[in-house]
Amino acid sequence: MIGAGVSVISVVLSSIAQISIAPFITISGATINFNLLAIIFIATYTNRTTSVGALLLLTLLTGSITETPYEWVLLAYLPTIPLIYLIDLLRRNDDYTLITVVAAATVIGLWGRILMSIIAMSDGTPASFGTVISQILAPGILLDMIPVIIFYGIFKLAGPNKQRVVNTGYNT
């Protein structure tokens, strides 16, 4: 029950931050993706069902706040479902967790940026292929990787999923 409440609060805060704070944190036209960070946070601390429910709530909130059609927002965040399952599987094996989550989050962020660029161009925004790559996709990859590395690393170090050291000494 606590996980669901924290998930709802995280989704609401990330949706508000995506609209109010993210436009001020830009690199060459690409903005930070607070919603992706919220989904990674929720998937790290809760189960898969709560995470997918939070993803649907995030889609509805973001679609209603940004006036972007819900189906486009859902399509943009649809690849996070495998990320949620991947994080759940990685809880069992901590060998390459950070690298895998960063790579998956970067691909998901790239997918979302490509879709949103297509939506903007279909609405009449003039942009060339080179402009989209150099001003949106390349800086977007950087803006997805760095916060995910920082926040996921903090979540894993401070979170309840830490591995415990077991005393395997001899009993006398």
Contact partners, residue 15, CB within 8 Å, separation at least 6: 34, 35, 58, 61, 62, 65
Q: Report helix angle 97-122 to 70-77, nearest 10.
A: 150
Of 40-44, 96-100, 119-123, least confident by mean pLDDT is 96-100
Report DSSP state, residue 159: S
% pLDDT > 90, the chain: 0
Task: Give me the pLDDT at residue 163, please.
Answer: 46
pLDDT at 122 over 60: yes
Residue 9 and residue 38 in contact, taking contact as beta carbons nearer than 8 Å: no
Task: Give me the pLDDT at residue 164, please.
Answer: 43
**How far is Cα 101 from Cα 80, in angstroms, rounded to an integer?**
11
Query: Whole-prediction pTM value?
Result: 0.67
Confidence band for 93, pLDDT divided at 50, 70 and 90: low
Task: Give me the pLDDT at residue 96, please.
Answer: 60
**How far is Cα 99 from Cα 102, in angstroms, rounded to an integer?**
5
pLDDT at 51 over 70: yes
Segment 111-140 mean pLDDT: 77
Backbone phi, then psi, for 26, in 5-degree steps? -125, 150
Query: Domain limits of the chain?
Result: 2-158
Tokens, residue 56:
């649907």
Task: Give me the pLDDT at residue 149, please.
Answer: 79
**How far is Cα 46 from Cα 3, in angstroms, rounded to an integer?**
6
Assigned CATH for 2-158: 1.10.1760
pLDDT at 53 over 70: yes
Segment 157-169 mean pLDDT: 52
